[in-house]
Structure 1
């Protein structure tokens, strides 16, 4: 393992590790402890719904806190639990619910990293005298010229989490460390077995931590009843084709579960929260050529200006990078011009920028322009 803080021996270097109770963050803490670092583990109490419903594998559940504590005890380093439930509700859960009211498709894990984890927890790590905050994310960090850090996709593309970390600022990147960025999951599991960690065989979490069994619409309906109100399903001309049971049950690009038979495949093209309508159409109506972003975080070497820059973008976490051009604007806004039209692009999701494997930041999608209109 390369030194986390150049010029300083591990024995004199305190590292705070964000511990979720899962295998990845546990191995991160264990490897740093093995390397001789002064490790302090911190677990955030965010939302304990997992324990209440008896669901395993939720990153914020009570069982996960106990697992993190067991790992720390087995390796002999201090571990603290911080109650961030009110911050998490304000910054993540309420934003998640409000996003559905606006007809968007939110990505709460990014908001959590952007606010609670990489802002509040980072401040806590500094207050404890730590030289760095380490996490179990699959992301690579490198030292660039001038001592500033650059962020890069993980070596194992199947585990890469750079999409979810686009909002990491340059200042935060200087302080953060990602020891698993060059590893694959099999290697991490092997370390967990070798070090006899209590969580070595624990499965990965699949759900959003505060949404039991992935039934997000039930949570949103409880928090924001208006999002579950019935309304019309219409075609592109506005003709009523059927009824829906709440726009929160639909996402742009969805084909299955619309419940309308017209003899040709129909897709959700747009959500209209003001009139409580779901707009459907043929696949070609999904294609967009331009995307408008807000809250843009730019990690490039020079300023992002109106002249535009050639980059690659990911519009979903599971897709490969697409060629595009980004045009900067004032107050954190930007326009993305796609080299070729793309379907299923939804407001509320993230558009993440890359130069090769380097993460250049990204922004939140607020609007799209159809390929037909752009032409």
Structure 2
């Protein structure tokens, strides 16, 4: 097969490309330039997509003996990821930019261009597996090792996209083995640290960065009964479940810490309360997609059992779900068997059955028997 290897400049994508070459595929490496003004050097494990990363990707391709290209996706990245991130926070929601990047950049823009150029598949260094059945249908599953599993951030992929994806690291038991393999292959990125945090906010100061992008004004922090208990410097910089940064002058009557329960951007108000009020029992989701064939109950509107995961490294919780409406915008309804804390509108809810990723939806509402947001 003709395979396009997405080269981030890290050890995972380098080894994934090496395995694709070793498997006998015709491999071409490509690094995505996602910023018009990339930093020259990374700061430890913070940030990505720097000039250093591009150079590391090039050196890996040189070592593997495969062609290397840089594709400029900076305008698309700004529109679909960065601007979307700002707009979601401005609306009082908490987006996941990695999910949006996978959906819009790595497995839409990149994959579409690859197919148009005659490639059969795109290979990445993600830790996940694809199972193909005898009838040609495909399913997305967790990686062999739970600690490195990245199936959550791939939950936005469709069955059509899975048909053109390769995840060569999916069955690898540990990251240590990947680093050891990179060293044996003579790849200079063998001990390069993993990137963390949001790539376009490399210093990790999301609130400070948002303050430069969104017009923020001071406003009240109120308790669940509407009584003002403090003041914030901009409601959009907070997220549900947050504890730090509230700067409340007086303690709660029970002396316990208070957390953000709700963001009301139209009123420029933050609602804070006890941790117990963060227990979520019911979630509704929009922008529903399936990572493989939909379950049969999706068409009939019947309940089906799932495990729900709302963060990349969170434990899934048992739940049941059903799909309401079969129009252009069906809604996912999820009843949780165990409460989840700090669920925020805008987050991504990924559904599992065992190791299989069923699909995902963007959380629109999160309800609790203890507290009902406005």
TM-score range, shorter chain: over 0.9
Q: Displacement, 1:56? A: 5.2
Equivalent of 2:332, from 322, 334, 342? 334
Alignment CA distance shift 1:273-1:155 (3 Å):
same
Equivalent of 1:264, from 243, 252, 256? 256
The TM-score normalised by the length of structure 2 is 0.92
Alignment CA distance shift 1:50-1:206 (3 Å):
farther
**CA offset digits 1:261-311 (Å, max 9, x no partner):** 312221111111111111011112111211110101123343514212111
Q: Which runs of 5+ in 1 are unaligned?
A: 1-12
- Deviates most, 114-123 or 52-61: 52-61
Alignment CA distance shift 1:52-1:242 (3 Å):
farther
SS in 2 for 1:372: coil
Equivalent of 2:296, from 280, 290, 302? 302
Give the aligned length.
Answer: 360
1:86 maps onto 2:75 in alignment: yes
Alignment CA distance shift 1:213-1:373 (3 Å):
closer
SS in 2 for 1:371: coil
1:150 maps onto 2:112 in alignment: no
Q: Which runs of 5+ in 2 are unaligned?
A: none
The TM-score normalised by the length of structure 1 is 0.92
SS in 2 for 1:205: coil
* Corresponding position of 1:10: none
SS in 2 for 1:147: coil
Q: How does 1:26-175 map to 2 (within 5 A)?
A: 26-47=14-35, 50-51=38-39, 55=43, 57=45, 58-175=47-164
Of Structure 1 and Structure 2, the greater helix share is in 1
Residues 41, 52 of structure 2: 8 Å contact kept: no
SS in 1 for 2:152: helix
Q: Displacement, 1:55? A: 3.5
Q: Displacement, 1:59? A: 2.4
Equivalent of 1:274, from 243, 247, 266? 266
Equivalent of 2:176, from 148, 173, 186? 186
**CA offset digits 1:234-286 (Å, max 9, x no partner):** 10111111111122332211223321231222111111111111101111211
